[in-house]
Structure 1
């Protein structure tokens, strides 16, 4: 067994075709095929099912593929340790939900840049589906999304996932709203007022479930712009959902907006802050450092008193 064979396994799985993998690796078709056959013989298990339609991992092959990624990640770490600082990855591309950028991520970026002032960081805010697609296609190194259990099930086949935090869903209302004095708000309470809804799949599903269980609601509009949502709520034009991460927002600390725990006795939604990375690329030391920095910053952010 050698590193080259593991690289071939990863590339064939990624391309779904030995010919395309050979072209990408700049080696012969027979060289790739023979290397994989030798590895299968050594391990005593079939790694791929070969057919006219392409090459697909067997159940045992999926385990070989996962271990190959883990081994190659370690190999990449060793190679990076041996490089001069100027030769190590000098840039990071990040995409995240607006929720991250309006709470703790800017602080994480600031902390990381102080330690790595020469690193070029490219960031953008986007909707969850676009973030997942960009990370999956290796257009972005790291993605930060808000997702549900359903989201995790959908994406674990093609991206690595790391749950950063299980959020608490909060009903967000103006200080002038009658709901501001309540200890807990239910769906029936919310449906008495105009609603502003985040324009993303998970949020839409939550509201569709509420409407199915409790009846229709009066939707003022859909948006992904948090500042618009907060201003509409602060002016008592509508109510909506945010998370407990909003507790340090100036509109909340000044008392213009109130956060109230949400409770649905029929179907309580569960959401997570999730870090995602592509499975078809290696995770650099720099990426691991940034994720660690983000996780530490989040922990400090949550621990802060308002």
Structure 2
């Protein structure tokens, strides 16, 4: 049974005349008659009572017409729904977002995109880079912003990625600490200071550990956290020295919190990543192109 046969039968049921129905359908009368006969053979029951100049529906034909109409209407609604998905008027976009997204204006990208496509349903998963990458690879989110390196992302052949922004780390120090008046800080300057270290799972933590190891001493660790607000509060209260990216530090700098560059520049890159297999899907393709063309001056 084909959709076209349902439409043909419904036209016959409406006009009660095969000749008129054929003319309305722009097909020949013999062809339409054969289509109805084939349908009846397939169903193994007569749908029409044929008269010399008209037709009537059998009881089965009336039931068939009723359900055929429902099927056609449902298919048209389904086609319209898929078209709305294609036009980005419907659908769900699942985006992974970093904890620091607000500080580095990543939320602004999503806000500006939503202005173009307000009918979409937006779902955010907020987490650290490692967790977001795993969720992306596990197909539980469609795309993500994350901190990483090109070598790390290149190792996953199924990923498409592009750089969003570069940044570098600075030390966050209470203005009560004399080190806050330095123009630059070395790792040796941190000897004996209480240090608020990033979480062990962070890429920056591993780089810091390497710097302390090269300097020949272990830092005096106050706590381990990558929660920006907590690091900010602890440093302002002079509990220890923490680390932020320069972008975040500028947003948090206050009379109680000084920002001092590190002599050893440690860069951080934020990437946007999605799966190559999703790039043909309208919403992912559209959002990916939007991120690619987004002006860096807005970040």
TM-score, length basis structure 2: 0.64
Q: Which residue of 2 aligns with 1:207?
A: 208
Give how far 1:129 is off. 1.6
Give how far 1:122 is off. 0.7
In structure 2, relative to structure 1, the CA distance for the partners of 1:257 and 1:130 (3 Å cut) is: same
Picking from 256, 270, 276, the partner of 2:267 is: 270
Indicate yes or no: 2:198 matched with 1:190: no
The answer on whether the counterparts of 2:245 and 2:268 sit within 8 Å (CA) in structure 1 is no
Give how far 1:280 is off. 3.5
Indicate yes or no: 2:202 matched with 1:226: no
The answer on whether the counterparts of 1:142 and 1:275 sit within 8 Å (CA) in structure 2 is yes
Segments of structure 1 that go 5 or more residues without pairing to the other structure are: 1-82
Q: Which residue of 1 aligns with 2:135?
A: 134
The answer on whether the counterparts of 1:197 and 1:223 sit within 8 Å (CA) in structure 2 is yes
Tell me how far apart the structure 2 counterparts of residues 297 and 195 of structure 1 sit (CA, whole Å). 36
Tell me how far apart the structure 2 counterparts of residues 301 and 180 of structure 1 sit (CA, whole Å). 30
The answer on whether the counterparts of 1:107 and 1:297 sit within 8 Å (CA) in structure 2 is no
Tell me how far apart the structure 2 counterparts of residues 301 and 188 of structure 1 sit (CA, whole Å). 37
The answer on whether the counterparts of 2:184 and 2:263 sit within 8 Å (CA) in structure 1 is yes
Q: How does 1:141-152 map to 2 (within 5 A)?
A: 141-148=142-149, 150-152=151-153
Give how far 1:289 is off. 4.1
Give how far 1:114 is off. 2.2
In structure 2, relative to structure 1, the CA distance for the partners of 1:147 and 1:191 (3 Å cut) is: farther
In structure 2, relative to structure 1, the CA distance for the partners of 1:135 and 1:172 (3 Å cut) is: same
Give how far 1:192 is off. 3.3
Query: Comparing 103-112 with 122-131, which one deviates more in the overlay?
Result: 103-112
Give how far 1:255 is off. 3.1
- Aligned-pair RMSD on alpha carbons? 2.4
Q: Which residue of 1 aligns with 2:161?
A: 161
In structure 2, relative to structure 1, the CA distance for the partners of 1:229 and 1:297 (3 Å cut) is: farther
Tell me how far apart the structure 2 counterparts of residues 300 and 176 of structure 1 sit (CA, whole Å). 34
Number of equivalenced pairs: 214
The answer on whether the counterparts of 1:148 and 1:270 sit within 8 Å (CA) in structure 2 is no
Tell me how far apart the structure 2 counterparts of residues 172 and 298 of structure 1 sit (CA, whole Å). 28
Q: How does 1:8-157 map to 2 (within 5 A)?
A: 84-89=83-88, 90-148=91-149, 150-155=151-156, 157=157
Segments of structure 2 that go 5 or more residues without pairing to the other structure are: 1-81
TM-score, length basis structure 1: 0.62
